[in-house]
Amino acid sequence: MKFYLEKLINGQSLNYEEMRVVTEYCITQATDTQIASLLTALKAKGETADEIAGIVDVIRAKSTFKTSPLQDAIDNCGTGGDQSFSFNISTTSAFVIAGAGVTVAKHGNRSVTSKSGSADVLETLGISLSLSNEQVEELLHENKIAFLFAPNVHPSLKIFTKVRRELGLRTVFNVIGPLVNPVDLDTQFLGVYDKALLTMLAETLKKLGRRRAMVIHGAGGLDEATLAGENHIVFLNEGKINSFTLRPEDVGLPYYAIEEIRGGDALQNAEILLQVLNGKIGAHYYTVLLNAGLALFTSGKAESIREGVKLAEESIQSGAALKRLEGLVKYCKKLSGVY
């Protein structure tokens, strides 16, 4: 560990294999002090795609969740950390994406920087966070969407929790949450709180084997696409990476200020989610159309972002998106003996 720490302190990056070795050491025998030193040294130097990919691959390899191959599965999780206190945009969008026919392996956790994380709002809606591997896999195949609660599928992450809490700093773990989804994803839609991380995270997703991926930093500084102005996007497509910007009018959507998509606690955000899936028009609705539309384009379901937005609206208006939520809730109620 000392050798690798000295490299980082001297401004030298670790390669993929070195990062795998260090991560394995942290999980199996490192002290809290050593882990804190590693996270701080990485942050001070600035993480690379190789370093992040190395960490992610070790954590994924140690996951308790294993599944048979899925055709064209996607996740649409953001990093969090934007301090916007918006409603659960990606969670709501996930049901819209699934309603359009794309399998969504939704990986997430409880709130860290907001009032309601994906796990919080889904639990409020009656969705269990403790499904078995077999139950999650059944839902992915039969319902097109399931939720993978990070603490349940990644016990190795507990090693870092105490250190991260005591450091109180943003570290590499503030960006790897969406990357450690244990499902072998074909595509991914990833929001990030820092525009400077866009290209590096796209390169990381390439190293992790994504065929197509989109990394977005939303107008107003959000880790979601927003209708407040210019969204910055980096797109990975079959090994090629390019960047562009997108404004709501580019895809026929109206402008809404960031203040209009503020959420609340889990109960309030669950109500917003239900309103959107029931077709209530407004800032929340159109924001979900944009994010789901971008994800549907990323998945290859839509040939353009504008077409993706159209498919997202059809998913809501046809009732298909709501049906995916209802299927998930019904499944969990049946397991608990509540009908």
Q: Is 81 annotated as a binding residue?
A: yes
Query: Is 67 assigned a ligand-binding role in the annotation?
Result: no
> Annotation-wise, does 18 bind a ligand?
no
The answer to whether 109 is annotated as binding is yes
130 is in an annotated binding site: no
13 annotated as belonging to a binding site for a ligand? no
Question: Is 9 annotated as contributing to ligand binding?
Answer: no
43 annotated as ligand-binding: no
112 is in an annotated binding site: yes
- 106 is known to lie in a ligand binding site: yes
223 labelled binding-site residue: yes
The answer to the question of whether 124 is labelled as a binding residue is no
296-316 exposure pattern, b = at least 16 Cβ within 10 A, e = fewer: bbbbebbeebeebbbbbbebb
Q: Check whether 93 is labelled as a binding-site residue.
A: no
243 marked as part of a ligand binding site: no
Q: What is the amino acid identity at position 69? A: P
Q: Does 91 count as an annotated binding residue?
A: yes
Nearest to 105 by CA among 153, 139, 55: 139
33 carries a ligand binding annotation: no
10 marked among binding-site residues: no
- CA–CA separation, 60 and 20 (whole Å): 11
> Is 2 part of any known ligand binding site?
no
Annotated binding residues for anthranilate: 78, 109, 164
Annotated binding residues: 78, 81-82, 86, 88-91, 106-114, 118, 164, 223-224
Annotated binding residues for 5-phospho-alpha-D-ribose 1-diphosphate: 78, 81-82, 86, 88-91, 106-114, 118
Annotated binding residues for Mg(2+): 90, 223-224
